[in-house]
A and B are shown apart, each in its own frame.
Chain A
Amino acid sequence: MDDFSSLMAGFQVALSWQNIGFMAIGVVLGIIVGVLPGLGGPNGVAILLPLTFGMDPTSAIILLSSIYWGALFGGAITSILFNIPGEAWSVATTFDGYPMAVQGRAAEALTAAFTASFIGAISGVILITFVAPLVASFALRFGPAEFFAVFLLTFCSFIGMGRDNRSKILASLCIGFLLAAVGLDSISGDLRMTFGSLELMRGFDFLIVVIGLFGVSEILLTVEEGLVFKGKQAKIDLKVVLRTWVGLPRYWATLLRSAAVGMWMGVTPGGAIAASFMGYGLAKRFSKRGKNFGKGEIEGVLAPETAAHAAGTAALLPMLALGIPGSATAAVLLGGLLVWGLQPGPLLFIEQKEFVWGLIASMYLGNIAGLVIVLATVPLFAAIMRVPFSYVAPVILIVCAIGAYTISNSIFDIWLMLLFGIVGYVFKKLDYPLAPLVLALVLGDRAEDAFRQALLGSAGSLNVFWANGLVGTLVVLAMLLLLWGPVSDVIGAARGRGRADEKPAAAE
């Protein structure tokens, strides 16, 4: 009840005209940043952070978190209309979102994505509001072994749920891990797999790989079929929105499951990316129409969007309550708090009550503002699609190059982007799934650190991975998911409907 009255006081802070204005500006800026591939949420917040130093901390954090909401929404627009995920967590949204757009259901897909984002984010905020202290103290009990088990669970669910050639999924995962391993080793400080190259010392930034694999390769695949742009039109009108909303309650189980997975992955630093893939994978497993996933199933849009946004929002929970950022954007926001002289942690809730609850209230309001603004402005952003391909393609490629360059101010990165563009093109044509590669690339370092630290603690004994109930349960779940696929294949083959006559459904 005490929390409730604090929240109401927070709404009073957030509901000033000035703060609502900042929310609107933030959301629009965020959508722009989210639509441009390679800029994205964390970068957008980081670039605009210095502009807010002169502002009142509450207004500043409201502006920055609104940029973040806007970026989350904007990512869905490019994923669905262009098949280019603006962020790694929108990758899973492209699997069904783009096919829906191809079938002329872009407006439905966008409405579903925005609404799912909204539901996910609001669940995250509710979590922060009510169970923050409880969940945070639980995550505190996590050691390296538990962290590794969470990562393992993610990877195994990927192989288990995949309908692609499993050896290709595995190879794709391995490539991601190995790309992540290139460069400076965070534990020993030694260089790995750089072969004397100075440029490789930095390692491979996932954004460069993603821009190449998804952005550039998609343009190459598009021109193959003549120079016609495959981006889809989206005219969102109230009728489509309402019709989509009326259909949503049917998917309550998917929404609930994805929100739960997302919140879990957000608080334990599995992150929004892992959450979106897991949400998608679970929805595919449990849906009656699982076989149609990847061909334009609305659940395939709802699940990853809900999970990613629940995770992205829940990642702010350990940041606020413990001072441990659960995501890159949370880390940037944490940096901002420190600049304003606010020390995130349990004491923040006591000493800066007004600020914390103002922020939490603004999360509710920012999301509502975001949903309204994004639904209203989609036609504007989608108007790009009416411009002929010969104009749009070079612009996209130039923006991709700019995005790749700005990550570490290196022209070498633009060449890398080009290389990964060609790799992505070949891999897509040969049905190598790209999503596991990106997932392993993003989580690789953290998974490896957790693995090595766990082994250090146990002097090399693998027993550490079933030393207690928590880690044991996670590992057993991971193994079950890993074996699920092959076992169901065998059962399927025994029933005389083996994979041989099944058309391989590409995950991309």
Chain B
Amino acid sequence: MTLPSESETQPGLSRRPVERIVATILIGLALVVLYDSYGRGAGWDNGPQNGFFPARVGWIFLAASLFILVQSFRSPVDGIFVSYAQLGQVVRVLGPLFLFVALIQPLGLYVAAAVFIVVFMAIVATSRWYAIGLTAVLVPVVCFWVFEIQFRVPLPKGPLEAALGY
């Protein structure tokens, strides 16, 4: 958990606009829920219709989100949501992670995992190349052994596994 005080000295995104953006998104979601529920029927037709419960929750949700938005304007203190340095670190993890998930479909999970490990560890750059290579090979192989062979959980496979006969 990050305490606000840790990052207050560094430049970064301030908290208040993020708070307002999130509250606005929540209000939008509440409106979508209400639109959908009333579109399908949120009333009583020989019993509660299927939008009955979501619509009521939707109204409470809308009220709570509006209140959070109002609070964000009244709140006297403003801190840093995330400093630019921290944001950079988060992007260094999220980038390879997005790549990993995007590669699962074409390459299969195991190869994508190997690519992910190489990219992630290269970006983090705390390991020697042979350690990176060994990890990138060993982790998918162990995963394959545990999930595919021991637990018999079929995971997405790609051309490499097909070439190896799986």
Contact = CB atoms under 8 A, between A and B. Distances in A.
Contact of B155 (A192, A406, A460): A406
Interface in A317-350: none
Interface string B127-155: 10000000100010001000100011111
A220 B113 contact: no
A79 B28 CA distance: 34
Contacts, number: 170
A170 B64 contact: yes
Interface string A380-424: 000000001011011101110110011001010011001000100
A426 B50 CA distance: 32
Contact of A167 (B36, B64, B101): B64
A181 B1 contact: no
A339 B32 CA distance: 45
A285 B126 CA distance: 46
Contacts of B48: 451-452, 455-456, 460
A193 B33 contact: yes
A16 B68 CA distance: 61
A227 B139 contact: no
A221 B1 contact: yes
Interface residues of A, number: 61
A263 to B, nearest CB: 29
A190 B104 contact: no
Interface string B55-68: 00110110011011
A289 to B, nearest CB: 20
Contacts of A428: 1
A220 B89 CA distance: 8
Main secondary structure of the interface of B (DSSP, over half): helix
Interface in A429-479: 429-430, 432, 448, 451-452, 455-456, 460
Chain B, interface size category, equals: 35 or more
A390 B105 contact: no
A430 B126 contact: no
Contacts of A393: 93, 120
A224 B3 CA distance: 12
B90 interface: yes
B57 A405 contact: no
A171 B97 contact: no
A178 interface: yes
A288 to B, nearest CB: 24
29 contacts: A167-B68, A170-B60, A171-B61, A174-B58, A175-B61, A178-B58, A192-B37, A192-B54, A193-B32, A219-B93, A224-B2, A225-B2, A225-B89, A388-B127, A391-B121, A391-B135, A393-B93, A394-B113, A394-B120, A394-B139, A397-B97, A401-B100, A402-B143, A411-B104, A411-B156, A425-B90, A426-B18, A430-B22, A430-B81
A-B CB proximity, top 5 nearest:
A174-B61, A171-B64, A224-B86, A170-B64, A188-B50
